[in-house]
Structure 1
Amino acid sequence: MANRFLSAAMLAWATLAAPAGAQDTPIAFSQSEQGASALPPILSARERAETENRILATRLDEIVPAIMRAEGVDLWLLVAREYFEEPVVASMLDAHNMHARRRTILIFHDPGDGKPVERLTVSRYGLGGLFAPAWDPDKQPDQWQAAADLIAARNPARIAVNISDLSQFADGMTVSQYAAFTAALPPALRPRIVSGEGLAVRWLETRTPAEMALYPTIMRAAHAVIAQAFSRAVITPGVTTAEQVQWWYRDRLLQLGLEPWFHPSVAIQRQGVKGMLEGSEVIRPGDLLWTDFGITYLRLNTDTQHLAYVLKPGETSAPAGLRQGLANSNRVQDILTRQFAIGRSGNEALARARAEAKAAGLDPSIYAHPIGLHGHGAGPSIGFWDNQNADPRGTGPIRPNTAWSIELTSYAAVPEWGGQRVDFRTEENALFDGRSLRYIDGRQTELTLIPSDP
């Protein structure tokens, strides 16, 4: 699609106004680590709903016409059933309509000639005024026939439905719903049905200026919770276990009114012990701690991995070998982020980054992915932890105005640990604006230090 959202305003998100009640000064994008970040104010339920609805209205107004025209589709049909929403429909429900009702059918129709795209709902209930009601059950009791009649009257050349072998985000049309739809559709129109994969992916992966204006605040909230988790406020060396920190995260999010999109991970690497220690293992001085933590707030997701070192008595810093290990992962981050280019596939970005990192003497494993309305978001993957070669899920192009989780690790032998091979996992979230990739709220470049003594 045309780079509709890339503009001078997109290069200065920090100046965009935050939603009412969020904070007096919006948090700006930052390329450096924020340290022990303070938790930003958290919106009330009503403020969240107002913010989400405002952003959704803009997304529907601006993204849908652009992607339909880019994909050459003049009608897009979406179907969901109550408590069984497909990913795209779920992202199009306003903050008051939390679920589809009975069967919800959404229709987007582009009449061409620069006219506005129609947004229709063939269902018994309205959807926050974002879709025009287009079904009167008293006149046509058969919902599918009502939808088919609407489509036939518009005579579209291409009818997109969400069917895809490759993308889970574009495979929401179930067999039963497809059968009912095609049975109602005039036979002459059935050959015009095409996959809506491109539409679904582009709708979900594209970030608007308003969303990106919010993202630094959302990331700061996640970073602030991690900073507290990796502190003496939560961890008492010799007492606290890895799983206790995991459940502290969950309790803390309940207190804040925030939600995790996966159960947080906390694990330990220890001198003389192979692999990661988890669960009931007690955290000790000299341990290297790892966490993987993500929240959902204002419909956007974070996904972050940080490292911390538990100081031994008398230590004031982590061993040089551990510090160098994180620096190595930072170098792999730099190498990977330089590979972002419009139209380049995820597989090509992976191959280029791995080749450059290995030529530099590093030992990387890269598994970056899009992020946004989903934690593991729509769009091309850049490697997987269990596959560092080309993958069908990495064939798609990198597009502008997309958010990314720069997730990877590098391995290094730590001299102070007798040459033990240590895993330096890192993950930070960033935005690709079409020209460069920038971190949303900085990245970790120094190990967090947790004192042994209070």
Structure 2
Amino acid sequence: MIRGVAAIAVLIAWLQIDTVGLRAASDPTVPAILSLREQASLRDAWLERRLETVLPALMERHGIDMWLLIAREYNEDPVMETMLPATWLSARRRTVLMFYLSQPGREVERLSITYHAVRSREAGSREGVGSDLYQHVWAPSQQPDQWARIRELVADRDPRKIALNRSSVFPLADGLTASEEAALVNALGERYATRLVSGEPLALGWLETRIPEEMAVYPTIQRVAHAILIEGLSERVITPGVTRTIDVQWWYRERIRELGLETWFHPSVSIDRPQEPAHVSYGRSKVPGMDLVIQPGDLLHVDFGIKYLGFTTDTQNHAYVLRPGEADAPEGLQAGLAAANRVQDTLMANFRAGEAANDLLVRAGTQARSEGFAATIYSHALGYHGHGAGPWIGSTDNQKGIPGAGEYPIHPNTAWSIELSVEVAVPEWGGQKVRFRLEEDAYFDGQAIRFLDGRQKKLHLIPRPR
């Protein structure tokens, strides 16, 4: 087992406690960030647990007895990246992982055909100290040809199916390069090359499935993201008449770096104001890329995400810049946010385990329209990647169903970005139509889906009322 498991349990407990009392949607307090060493220990503990539980369940479910992952240094397979210890920042030379399930109910054999043993070890410890996540089964001094060694291991086990990460639909399940596949086929020979199958269901299942230990912490990751987002939408950062939208974008980037976190996309900050509607496609200011000075009376929109402990967030919120003498946003803007909240409720109430995402899209969209909402739904899976492994529930330009990605079923124990917009006429702006674009992260346990850290239900006000 990984060293320091007791300490890791304490870390998880602390993270859970740290979340309590910080759920208020307007709280800009950033929870304490773990050190890199603490993060590595936690992530490696999760990985070991996942290899022991998620992996065998997937191989049994899909009837695959061997799974091969192959990647070369700096040309990573997205799945392999999540199967390497935290101190392995990339594949090394040619990294090959082999998983073999001899029969259902048995332990999965985990092998590494690599020059270096794939070990989890504490940062700063001497080489060779740590837990072996995989049995190291290649000694170049005895068999210099790595491909020949792979052939020997496959022949010894004689699998019925050999899964490779190939997919024409899901990029995250298509990590095997053409040259590596060609070399593998040549090494295996006709006997075993005919047994090669797509590992798409294994790759997607591995990436999308969350374990309880991860979900004990994911809400805190979202709390961190909420706190940063809210801080940026305040008088701490924005001075009306002076601050520009691009200033706020770069403030977010610098704040993320200051905290020792990462982002997976550049934040966007846009403005709606009377007689100056936002760009209809993605909510950017009237001209895409336009850099505007933020003024009293503006409705701001931010799209923002972080990456922490290997997991991503994806959040969109709105803020209103108070005019002199105002204590709150116009009622029409408040009603627009409430309409978007209602469509969030509608979408989440329609989640069904095992159902295709396209069916969910059509049912939720029909219900929203029947209630009089001009809604557009474009939600997606979330996890290791911001646009994560799993189905797409609509897109900004397709509300009838996504071929391929929308046909994939919704599974339990998965994280989601509940992303959508509602167009509402604002009376105080002369009936001008405004798109209210919300995005909040959630978890589906197979029975119900809940937000990780609440959601925006009131417009953030700049400055905050005292």
TM class by shorter-chain length? Answer: over 0.9
| 1:190 Cα deviation from its structure 2 partner | 1.6
Aligned counterpart, 2:277: 274
Aligned counterpart, 2:3: none
CA distance in 1, matches of 2:10, 2:58: 27
Aligned match for 2:422, one of 410, 422, 431: 410
Letter in 1 for 2:240: P
Cα deviations across residues 312-369 of structure 1 (Å, max 9, x unaligned)? 0000010011000000000110000011111111101100011000000000010000
What SS does the corresponding residue of 1:258 show, helix, strand or coil?
Answer: coil
Letter in 2 for 1:148: R
Is residue 425 from structure 1 mapped to residue 428 from structure 2 by the alignment? no
Which aligned segments of 4 or more residues in structure 1 are displaced greater than 4 angstroms?
Answer: 20-24
CA distance in 1, matches of 2:442, 2:465: 36
Aligned counterpart, 1:6: none
Aligned counterpart, 1:374: 385
CA contact (8 A) 1:366 1:384 kept: yes
Letter in 1 for 2:342: R
Check 1:426–1:184 CA distance in 2 against 1; reply closer, same or farther (3 A cut).
same
| 1:113 Cα deviation from its structure 2 partner | 5.1
Count of residues in Structure 1 that have an aligned counterpart in Structure 2: 438
Cα deviations across residues 263-299 of structure 1 (Å, max 9, x unaligned)? 0110000111132425420000000000000000000
Cα deviations across residues 425-445 of structure 1 (Å, max 9, x unaligned)? 000000000100000000001
CA distance in 1, matches of 2:218, 2:425: 36
Q: Unpaired runs of 5+ in structure 2?
A: 1-7, 120-131, 279-283
Letter in 1 for 2:300: L
Is residue 96 from structure 1 mapped to residue 107 from structure 2 by the alignment? no
| 1:22 Cα deviation from its structure 2 partner | 4.8
Aligned match for 1:63, one of 45, 54, 57: 54
CA contact (8 A) 1:346 1:380 kept: yes
1:70-85 matched pairs, under 5 angstroms: 70-85=61-76
Aligned match for 1:343, one of 354, 379, 382: 354
CA contact (8 A) 2:16 2:220 kept: no
1:32-431 matched pairs, under 5 angstroms: 33-112=24-103, 114-128=105-119, 129-275=132-278, 276-277=284-285, 279-392=290-403, 393-431=405-443
CA distance in 1, matches of 2:104, 2:48: 23
Identity among equivalent positions (%) equals 50
Cα deviations across residues 162-209 of structure 1 (Å, max 9, x unaligned)? 111001011111111111101110321221110000000000000000
CA contact (8 A) 1:17 1:26 kept: no
CA contact (8 A) 1:21 1:47 kept: no
Check 1:426–1:33 CA distance in 2 against 1; reply closer, same or farther (3 A cut).
farther
What SS does the corresponding residue of 2:214 show, helix, strand or coil?
Answer: helix
Comparing 172-181 with 19-28, greater Cα deviation is found at: 19-28
| 1:148 Cα deviation from its structure 2 partner | 1.3
Q: Unpaired runs of 5+ in structure 1?
A: 1-15
What SS does the corresponding residue of 1:348 show, helix, strand or coil?
Answer: helix
Letter in 2 for 1:420: Q
CA contact (8 A) 1:81 1:101 kept: yes
CA distance in 2, matches of 1:214, 1:341: 25
Check 1:204–1:384 CA distance in 2 against 1; reply closer, same or farther (3 A cut).
same
CA distance in 1, matches of 2:21, 2:213: 14
**Which of 1 and 2 has higher RCO (CA within 8 Å, sep 6+)?**
1
Instruction: State the superposition RMSD in angstroms.
Output: 1.8
- Normalised by the size of structure 2, how large is the TM-score? 0.91
What SS does the corresponding residue of 2:160 show, helix, strand or coil?
Answer: coil
Letter in 2 for 1:358: R
